Amino acid sequence: MILARVVGEVVATQKHPSHERRKILMVQPVDPDGTERGDAVLALDAVDAGIGDRVLVVQEGYSAMTAAGRPGSPIDMTIVGVVDAVEMSEN
């Protein structure tokens, strides 16, 4: 899973039929402290996330497809949760 922040929404005039009624969002991977890492990527939204939300993104085809409830679909990344807080301890 990837921790990320939603930074944009993709508007597409045509989508694969399995993507109908789902948003495609641009997410920026972040470290637990919020520092950006790497490039922004696109993910299918399964939890009604919005711009500015910190989210959990599952990657890899089969996991992303089943998390979105769309088995057999061309999905590589799916947003599966909105993160309320990140707590880290030093043990």
The 10s digit of each residue's pLDDT in 27-81 is 999 999 889 999 999 998 989 999 999 999 998 776 776 676 666 677 788 899 9
Q: 52 to each of 20, 26, 47, 65, 77, how far by Cα in Å? A: 23, 11, 14, 24, 18
Identify the band that residue 84 occupies on the pLDDT scale cut at 50, 70 and 90. Answer: very high
Mean pLDDT over 7-14 rounds to 89
pLDDT computed for residue 68 by the predictor: 66
Domains and CATH numbers, the chain: 2-10+22-82 (2.40.50.220)
Residue 17's φ and ψ, nearest 5 degrees, are -55, -30
pLDDT computed for residue 31 by the predictor: 93
pLDDT computed for residue 43 by the predictor: 92
pTM: 0.84
